[in-house]
Amino acid sequence: MSGASDGRARGPGRARLDLASFDGGVRGTHEVMRLDRYRHLEALDAHQPRIVRGGGYSYAAASFGGGAVVQDFRPFDRILALDETTGALECEAGATLGRVFEVCEPRGWYLPVQAGYPGITIGGCIAADVHGKNQLRDGTFSRQVESLSLFHPRHGFVTASAQENAALLKSTCGGLGLTGHIVSARLRLTRLPGATAQVRRRRLDCIEDLLPVLEEAAARATFVYTWQNFTVRGRGFGRGYLYEGDFVPETTRTSDFRCTAIDSANRARYVFQALNGLTTSTFNLAYEALQRMSGACVEIGLFQLLFPVAHKVAYFRLFGRKGFHECQLLIPRQEFARAAVQLREYLAANPVPVTLASAKLFHGERTALRFDGSGVCLALDFPRGAAGTRFANWLDGLARDVGALPNLIKDSRLGSQTVRACYPEYDAVRNALHRYDPERLYRSELSERLGL
Amino acid sequence: MTWVVIGASAGLGRALSEELARDGRSLLLVASDRRDLDALAADLRVRFRGEVRALECDVTATGEATEVPSQALADAPIEGLLFPVGAVAEDDNGLLPASAADQLIRINLTSVISIVGRLLPRMLEQRHGVIVGFGSVAAVRGRRRNVVYSAAKRALESYFESLRHLCEPHGITVMLYVVGFMDTNQAFGQKLRLPRAQPTRLARRVCRELGRHSGKRYLPRWWGPISLALRVIPWPVFRRLRF
């Protein structure tokens, strides 16, 4: 027994813990250090491989594995500065999106680009260079990053910004946590136009409807995404809804900050996989019916808009302990029709219960290993299992065929061959990492699997 | 009126600092590393817009180091003194070298006594204020582990009892919380037989009760009956228990 203390001899907490990727695809027992003081950053032997872990919501095993000691950085969640006139926010990398929202929203500021669950950390968003609700308009998370403070045992504490160590800033945003420990970040917030948003729904009759409607909506709306039913066969394949929304100006705060807690451990609390061939079709039909019955235009709070997953975590639990695959492909616009035909044909011949299919439009530049560029971002969820794995492997082939980018952070089984084939800068990234860190101290299951 | 938190940078100390700032109290945060303190003070200023000062001071250092909080306060009236400070050592099994044992006693006991000693005359003069200490359920009975730590925490209980005698007639409330397992670095990853409490939850209760009573309380409450049961176990039985 022991009681009040400010630390086990004031050192970091250490334990061997079972960790899993959020999709359930990678599991293992790893040495974990919980850091809650600045001196803990330097507590580990300078030659010991390590990797930083935030909320642990990455679908791929980006924050453990590869023989690295896991450094749990969640206690570093403090807001260091907020300039309410310019919207410049400085925070530690363990600060969650929820914490940033809670502090900034009442003062009229927000991050337009962010991941969909409030427990995800700022460090995680930077390392994965996540995209938000309208990448076409807002770009990826790195667009909001002004500067970073990084720690690396070989280089010490380093500041990276457009003026100072610009290459390091570029390689850290979307760098999968391999360039060092992101300690804090200075971000550029956007003025909040209103505290609620009006969401309009439009029917899509088939997958062929998608591209023109998406292009038209993305050009004018603040956020745009689709929900599509990939369990329907024949002409109706890919039918569903397009959602576009805009802020309602001058509305007052109605945000409810409550969120259902989930993490990679309790996501897998049910042994049974409830989403299968039969239940998924029923589930999708029920969702469609529900959408038909609800109004074509609804007003929702900002929290619900930015964090759509906050109250829908049960969906992830239905995949059970076995888990799920998420494959996210950024398909060039000119190739989307061909990819859609191939998808329709594959799923007609090899039924896979696709529980979620959603598309967004992207515009950007393909650089490094970032999930960025121009095209249609198509996200597909399906249960883990033999059929699911065959489908995921087939999607790798589709990506190569149509010149699509697979999202590294969303897929815990993606192989280095596929990544090397799809990302032209793979070798350049790998070489730069080895030059910056010859010992390759920051590593994970993801980096080892990809041969980085 | 300033609230002083000694050992503010992590665990229960950080949680208490947040709760006090949330209540709009003016704070002086004391800990050994300027970087942790500056980050915490900045966070509390941004989130709660309160007055928060940070003071780097290693309370385990001997001599004049314990004067630093007193000097930093200058003539400002002291509303409360909180001591969520302490540490354990992995090898505290009765064979700890003298220097390590001294260090444990300093951080868990004598640092508190020294700082209270420096500030108490001002508080007695004010005839107003709160002093809060934090003991441990480890001190309920002597065990094979945490030998020096438990001894220091038991001495702290005795010290706070004496402090009550001295302070109560002068309008100063003195409270000692005996804390059970907490979700801090100390218990991180350990397989414990009883649940660990979240520091934020414990801090909320402490802040709710500030200045209301003098005495000793268990944190969480259910450790009270467990401690009582442990205390009445006869030695021939207790020595066979492995915990």
User: Does the CB of B186 have a partner CB in chain A at under 8 Å?
Assistant: yes
The pTM (predicted TM-score) of the whole model is 0.93
Is B138 an 8 Å CB contact of chain A? yes
Phi, psi of A348 (to 5 degrees): -70, -40
CB contact under 8 A, B87 and A6: yes
Q: Higher model confidence: residue B96 or residue A256?
A: B96
CB of B231 within 8 Å of a chain A CB? The answer is: no
Q: Is the CB of A4 inside 8 Å of chain B's CB atoms?
A: yes
Q: What is the mean pLDDT of residues A313-336?
A: 94
* Interchain CB contact of B99 with A (< 8 Å): no
pLDDT tens by residue, A40-74: 999 999 999 999 999 999 999 999 999 999 999 99
Q: Which residues contact A28 (CB under 8 A, 6 or more apart)?
A: A18, A19, A20, A64, A65, A445
Mean pLDDT for chain B?
Answer: 91
Mean pLDDT of chain A: 92
Best residue of A2, A16, A92 to probe chain B, by most B CBs closer than 10 Å: A2
pLDDT band at A223 (very low <50, low <70, confident <90, very high): confident
Q: Is A112 left (phi over 0), alpha (psi -120 to 50) or beta?
A: alpha
pLDDT over 50 (residue A264):
yes
Q: How far is A83 from chain B (nearest CA, A)?
A: 9
Nearest-CB residue to B149 (from A2, A10, A34): A2
Please give the interface size between A and B, counted as residue pairs whose CB atoms are below 8 Å apart.
Answer: 130
Task: Check if B218 contacts A (Cβ < 8 Å).
Answer: no
What does the pLDDT look like over B156-212, one tens digit per residue? Answer: 999 999 999 999 999 999 999 999 999 888 888 888 888 899 999 999 999 999 989
The beta-carbon neighbor of B137 closest among A1, A15, A92 is: A1
Domains defined along chain B, listed by start: 2-238 (3.40.50.720)
Whose structure tokens read 């969702």?
Answer: A287
The share of chain A scoring above pLDDT 90, in percent, equals 77
Confidence class for position B64, pLDDT limits 50, 70, 90: low
Arithmetic mean of pLDDT, A189-207? 91
B216 pLDDT higher than 60:
yes
Residues of B in contact with A79 (CB under 8 A): 42-43, 46-47
Its ipTM equals 0.91
Contact B87 A14 (CB under 8 A): no
Task: Kindly report the nearest CA distance between residue B9 and chain A, in angstroms.
Answer: 8
* Interface membership of B86 toward A (CB under 8 Å): yes
Contacts of A34 in chain B (CB under 8 A): 185, 188-189
Q: pLDDT tier at A256 (50, 70, 90 boundaries)? A: low
Query: For residues B177 and A253, which has the higher predicted lDDT (pLDDT)?
Result: B177
Predicted local distance difference test score (pLDDT) of residue A249: 85
The partner residue sitting opposite B33, judged by closest CB among A37, A76, A82, is: A37
Quote the pLDDT of residue A312.
87
> What pLDDT does A5 receive?
39
Span A294-313, mean pLDDT? Answer: 86
pLDDT at A254: 58
- Residue A8 pLDDT class (50, 70, 90 cuts): very low
